[in-house]
Amino acid sequence: MNQPTENAPAAETGQQEPRLGNWREALMALIASRIALIQFEARDTARQRARRVLSIIVAAICLFFTWALLVAGGIAAIAAVAGWPWHWLALAAALLHLLMALFLTSGSAKASAPAFPLTRAEFQKDREWIENFHKKPKSNT
């Protein structure tokens, strides 16, 4: 009388539910670990981007003040000493500062490591695991 009937749920028989539960727990643990990895790398990437933006802002402020000081004091002094027209000196200083700005911005735009390297590697491993899982014949044990 204790034999399960055909209509008895799998939870009462205790045969399939533990396997399904373990599979679900493993999948949820996998998803949770990937989400945690993404959060970790997102924070790291955000810090790197914030540093880069801050350095660009500081460089722009320095360039502005350098330009302003050269225009205000240097151009007039050089023009008085050399006897050249001040407007040509101002144009030469502007060109010099433009070249410096291009150099500074090209240095910060150099190629960096791709974002989320650990997450990409783990997703690649997951993809390979799933492909191998589907290729393996299922055993009856």
Ordered DSSP codes for 79-111: HHHH---HHHHHHHHHHHHHHHHHHHHHHHTS-
Kindly give the confidence (pLDDT) of every residue in the chain, 141 residues in length, as a single tens digit, with 9 standing for 90 and above.
445 444 444 444 444 445 556 878 888 888 888 898 889 889 999 999 999 999 999 999 998 898 788 777 888 898 899 998 988 888 888 898 899 889 888 876 666 677 788 888 888 888 888 888 777 665 555
Residue with tokens 């006897």: 83
The answer to whether the beta carbons of residues 119 and 34 sit under 8 Å apart is yes
3-state helix, strand, coil in the chain (%, to 5): 80, 0, 20
- Tell me the domain boundaries of the chain: 16-107
CB 115 within 8 A of CB 41: yes
